[in-house]
């Protein structure tokens, strides 16, 4: 009864906890529901789906951002699973998550999340960075210095991609010049 909505002026987090506890009690006390629950749990576990869902708030979002950043920091840039990282970033920067951050209205938390996400973008390819930068710009209370840092990373990635595309032509040109020089000396 600690989480009953009448005792907490309908606090949404405690109401959610109360409903989860009530549902768990009903599931465990009714044999048919319990059997159905166990079968569903077994099926999800067999598919590799996590069973625990947590209440999402700014701190949980920050934790997910830190975990992603650590994962990317130690990843081999060539072997990064781009689609999985893109999915993780899109989940973290979904409209729901951005709404939670806006409602929480914690400027320091938002700046920390934005700053860590910028660092997480460094090993990612330009296509992912460009897509994610649009979502990052929707985060509330973003300082101009961090926006410039984000734009600098995007610009550096564009430059790197440009020179990467020209590298083969430069090598080919140098090879031809060396061949012409050798031919003229002989």
129-148: pLDDT as tens digits = 888 888 777 776 677 888 88
Tens digits of residue pLDDT in 138-179: 776 677 888 888 889 889 989 988 998 999 999 999 999 999
Residue 89: half-sphere exposure toward Cβ, Cα within 13 Å? 27
pLDDT over 90 percentage in the chain? 15
Tokens 């920390």 locate to: 112
CB burial of residue 181 (10 Å; 0-12, 13-18, 19+): exposed
Query: 10: pLDDT confidence band, cut at 50, 70 and 90?
Result: low
The answer to whether residues 149 and 118 touch, using CB atoms and an 8 Å cutoff, is yes
Q: Compute the 3-state secondary structure of the chain and give helix, strand, coil in percent, each to the nearest 5.
A: 75, 0, 25
pLDDT of 7 > 90? The answer is no
Say how many Å lie between the first and final Cα of the chain, rounded. 96
pLDDT given for residue 181 in this prediction: 94
The answer to whether residues 58 and 65 touch, using CB atoms and an 8 Å cutoff, is no
Which helix (H) or strand (E) segment holds residue 53: the answer is: none
Q: For the whole model, what pTM was predicted? A: 0.58
Query: 24: pLDDT confidence band, cut at 50, 70 and 90?
Result: confident
Highest mean pLDDT among 73-87, 98-112, 151-165 belongs to 151-165
């Amino acid at each position: 009864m600690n989480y009953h909505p009448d005792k907490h002026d309908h606090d949404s987090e405690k109401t959610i906890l109360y409903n989860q506890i009530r549902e768990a009690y009903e599931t465990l006390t009714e044999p048919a529901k319990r059997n159905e629950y166990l079968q569903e749990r077994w099926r999800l576990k067999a598919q590799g789906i996590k069973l625990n869902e947590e209440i999402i708030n700014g701190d949980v979002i920050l934790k997910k951002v830190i975990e992603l950043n650590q994962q990317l920091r130690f990843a081999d840039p060539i072997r990064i699973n781009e689609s999985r990282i893109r999915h993780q970033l899109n989940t973290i920067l979904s409209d729901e998550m951005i709404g939670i951050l806006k409602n929480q209205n914690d400027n320091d938390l938002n700046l920390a999340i934005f700053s860590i996400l910028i660092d997480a973008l460094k090993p990612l390819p330009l296509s992912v960075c460009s897509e994610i930068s649009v979502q990052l710009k929707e985060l509330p209370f973003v300082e101009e210095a961090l926006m410039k840092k984000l734009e600098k990373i995007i610009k550096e990635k564009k430059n790197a991609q440009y020179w990467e595309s020209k590298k083969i032509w430069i090598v080919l040109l140098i090879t031809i010049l060396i061949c012409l020089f050798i031919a003229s000396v002989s």
